[in-house]
Structure 1
Amino acid sequence: MNKLSITGLSAALVLLFNSCATNPVTGKRDLILMSEAQEVALGQQSDPAVVAQFGLYQDPALQRFIENKGQAMAAISHRSNIEYHFKIVDSPVINAFAVPGGYVYFTRGIMAHFNNEAQFAGVLGHEIGHIAARHSAQQQAKSTLAQGGLILGTILSPTVAQAGNSAAQGLQLLFLKFGRDDERESDRLGVEYSSKIGYDAEEMADFFVTLQRQQEKGGEAIPGFLSTHPNPADRFETVNKLAFEWKQKLNLTNAQVERNSYLKRIDGLVYGEDPRQGFVENYTFYHPELKFKFPIPNGWDYMNSPQQFQMAPKDGSAMLSLTLVPGETLEAAAQQLLQGYNLQPVESKSVTVNSLPALAIIADLKQQQGQQQQQEIRTLIYLIKYNGNIYNLMGVTTTANFNSVAPQFSSTMQNFSTLTEAEKLNRQPERIQIKTVAQSSSLLQVLQSYKVPEARLEELAILNGMQLSDRIDKGTMIKVIGK
């Protein structure tokens, strides 16, 4: 027994030593449980899942802009040896994030809130900094170790230490919280990298103020690079100090800000939720592009994405989702769906839903042999054929809870119908509109001259990175919102 313990301890120490890698930024050895090749492979596996989850924002010129600036910055980073990819995803949330192996994503929501290229470049450098310093890989290692049993698991099975085979693992890494030291290091790298390609990194500090104001105003979730941030005032001061030092070091006497050129780039950018991708009003989901609608159970929460629309009661006891499924016929789609989810049909019948052909199926999740006994799961599925697509409305809950929640499932499924109301079909998103101030006055007066509603004045002030009391000179470009 003692001999086995000593052998296991020795193996664990060897594993830990071999799992240390030199950090490209600091030159120190860090505990990292994946090789660079595995890290790159994980990014490649994660990218399709990220794009499927959010969708790419359809603006080729803006996509070229982030790609060109990203590649210029990656070339001077501490990890210029790997291949980088930069994309704008179609989400209104104000966020930017990176996954291991060189993949960086900005939402259209954050692009809307930048007020010059220098702010954009600072955040871009921050995200590249996370990749350069291998923060995601480090956090993955810490997270795995914190779960316990890693050393024993690795000794028993060498595959435990490998980067996984599914995109879901990559998506999990998006939500790893970087510590304050990582955030400070990425701030420092963001200043360094953006300065090295000629931008005024002091603007990065100003953008953190915009993010903080936005979060305080709406209580919204804030980006990962802000969520574990040091004190905002300290961070603002530190970034400004670092920016000044880099200007001195590089003799950067004419650092770029590029306000007007950036604002012109985002003129017409979709702002907020895009109703063309589906929207909710009075607990009804409408999809103008696909021309359907259905009710949401009263009081349930919901979330829309390009992949699916999900609904759930606040207690989390059930879930109802809408997705598209492949198949030439309802029967073929049902067979593939049941096999894919490992479901055993209990009852199946052909029905019509508002004159649309459909299949209604009750099915149970099969229990795997050797698997620990869990609560039994039952589903109600409606497959509805409409306009060349097959829609899968699937309600999932425990078998014990099924009878109580099935009427809510059925009400949504049986009320799926064709969308014909012109006002809903023609609903357009709000967009950023760039205006040139005709007369010097306060921001408040300028916004009022553009008929901005009283309730949205502070929102527009934050969007412009200004205070309502700020004086705006004639000829200044500002953002307003219109359709």
Structure 2
Amino acid sequence: MRTCLHRTKPHARIAMTVALGVALAGCQLTSSSNIPLNNNSRVFFDGNSDASIGAREHPRVVASYGGVYKNAGAEEAVAKTVGRLVAASEDPSQAYKVTILNSPAVNAFALPGGYLYVTRGLLALANDTSEMAAVLSHEMAHVTAHHGAARQQREEATALASKVVTNIVDDPAEVEAAVASSQRSLARFTQAQELEADSIGVRTLARAGYDPYAAARFLESMGRFSDYASARADANAAPDFLSTHPNTPNRIARAIREARQIGAPGIGEQDRDEYLSKLDGMLFGDDPLQGFVRGRSFLHKALGIGFTVPKGFALENTPQAVLASDGKGTALRFDGADLKTSQSLSEYINTGWINGLVENSIRTTTVNGLPAVTATALAEGWSFRIGLVRKGSTVYRFILATRDPSQGFLSSFEEILTSFRQLSPTEQARLRPLSVRIVKIHSRDTVHALARRMSGVAPSRRAELFALINGQTAKSQLKVGQSVKLIVD
């Protein structure tokens, strides 16, 4: 959530919060630095493109992911790798616009016309050039196979078919079955696209001279990181039939099979030390302008505020708002809006930005010395608890949503709201951004000794994070002289 969060439009309706748990997912990359390449492959950063879909969506993508991340080392590593992949791809004439997004999320995706996107969070998770190349080659496969255009045509056909059925069939059960059938067909289509991109990507990876097993290796790291970030010790491995992507274990197995058709493990470049050297000093986690997530707390240095969510909730900081979920159907949105000097919180809550507001539920209170108002809203089967806290000319808004308003839901809301506070000057001074530091392993180093040098995460989880970001497992052995990543402030 950016420093300017208080400029959020005050009339955004509360019904939007039912989508709190939905996150952008897929495959994406761009940067606004011009990087010279030592080949003729048409790779460029922030150039022009004739792809109307990509050009139209590009500004929205960049805004949604916190803007463009500028880092010379990361840009050089990406540009060099894309150059090799283009030359080895199924369409070497395809031009690409590559963007590195300023987001800690681990994500990459592609838009029609050669728009490729990768987050700095993904670059930080990768442990060598071949792993980064595996992601990029997968996304390039979506472009060369024209998956974006094909998906759009299929979605339009599905929407039209659903509309025709709805207009003609009188039986609601038949309508529902027909619409569900078309949705399953679309899901199978997009899953087939992902698997095709996996296959093409591994082959391209190998032709470019990289380790073809890197695709499976990085898919496993992504799965582990997802479990870590969402605080799930036992993630459900069951496939989600309507998921855009096939479930990770299935993709890993297929990626390994594809690699085995090329050769035995040990072939191709990995280029670990060179890649990690480019990451040294790169921002990790939240951008300071958007505040910091530290464990279960959100802290914003510039705004001087903070709050904490209950145990079991996982926080996500986005450019638009801070989101949280308990993984059981309860979701939180926190943002801010401008407030007129003469306007009270009671007046503000009645200005029409909340659908289903229960008028007699509005209560005036205080939160740690700051004026506040709470209320309840009911809309489309959802129950909402709203908390507004005023600090100067800004109103900070907590919106907790659930379909099951149990006593636990109400107590969670109270715990979150009452945790909101102003940070002391000392707390603000201590808040510093995290970055990636690359170090060499010495003979006396252990996982726990190296983990103790890390910051920004609870001590009990440092060893787990160290192993995760360095591709380590319970059976891995530290190798003297090997480069590893530490997260420090």
Q: TM-score range by the shorter chain?
A: 0.5 to 0.7
The within-5 A match list for 1:25-424 is 40-44=51-55, 46-56=57-67, 58-62=69-73, 64-65=75-76, 68-69=79-80, 72=83, 73=85, 78=91, 84-91=97-104, 93-139=105-151, 149-150=161-162, 152=164, 181-194=192-205, 199-208=210-219, 210-211=221-222, 219=234, 227=247, 230=250, 232-242=252-262, 257-271=270-284, 277-279=291-293, 285-296=298-309, 302-311=315-324, 316=329, 320-326=332-338, 329=341, 331=343, 338-339=351-352, 346=359, 354-356=368-370, 360=373, 380=386, 382=388, 384-386=390-392, 389-395=394-400, 409=413, 412-413=416-417, 416-420=420-424, 422-423=426-427
Give a deviation string over 1:330-355, Cα, whole Å, max 9, x none.
74997799455567794789876545
SS at match of 2:336: strand
Contact 1:330 1:384 in 2 (8 A): no
Contact 2:388 2:395 in 1 (8 A): no
SS at match of 1:118: helix
Deviation at 1:416, TM superposition (A): 3.2
Contact 1:179 1:228 in 2 (8 A): no
Deviation at 1:125, TM superposition (A): 0.8
* Separation (CA, whole Å) in 2 of partners of 1:417 and 1:310: 18
Which of 447, 460, 469 aligns to 1:463? It is: 469
Aligned AA (1:88): L
* Separation (CA, whole Å) in 2 of partners of 1:149 and 1:460: 50
Which structure would you say has the larger RCO, counting Cα contacts within 8 Å and 6 or more residues apart?
2
The within-5 A match list for 1:427-466 is 427-428=431-432, 431-439=435-443, 446-448=445-447, 450-452=449-451, 460-465=466-471
* Separation (CA, whole Å) in 2 of partners of 1:412 and 1:329: 26
SS at match of 1:268: coil
Contact 2:304 2:422 in 1 (8 A): yes
TM-score of the superposed pair, with normalisation by structure 2: 0.60
Contact 2:127 2:275 in 1 (8 A): yes
What value does the CA root-mean-square deviation take over the aligned residues?
Answer: 5.2
Residue-pair matches, total: 401
Deviation at 1:126, TM superposition (A): 0.6
Q: Which residue of 1 aligns with 2:7?
A: none
- Cα 1:201/1:60, change in 2 over 3 Å: same
Deviation at 1:430, TM superposition (A): 5.0
* Separation (CA, whole Å) in 1 of partners of 2:187 and 2:129: 28
* Separation (CA, whole Å) in 2 of partners of 1:407 and 1:449: 37
Aligned AA (2:200): L
Contact 2:202 2:255 in 1 (8 A): no
- Cα 1:192/1:84, change in 2 over 3 Å: farther
TM-score of the superposed pair, with normalisation by structure 1: 0.61
Contact 1:97 1:106 in 2 (8 A): yes
Aligned AA (2:397): N
- Cα 1:475/1:106, change in 2 over 3 Å: same
Name structure 1 gaps, 5 residues minimum: 1-38, 157-174, 248-254, 367-373, 440-444
Give a deviation string over 1:24-78, Cα, whole Å, max 9, x none.
xxxxxxxxxxxxxxx9555455545544444247442255336634763458553
SS at match of 1:84: strand
Aligned AA (2:247): S
Deviation at 1:384, TM superposition (A): 1.9
Deviation at 1:267, TM superposition (A): 1.6
* Separation (CA, whole Å) in 1 of partners of 2:427 and 2:106: 29
SS at match of 2:446: helix
Identity of aligned residues (%): 23
Name structure 2 gaps, 5 residues minimum: 1-49, 169-185, 238-242, 453-459
Aligned AA (2:321): Q
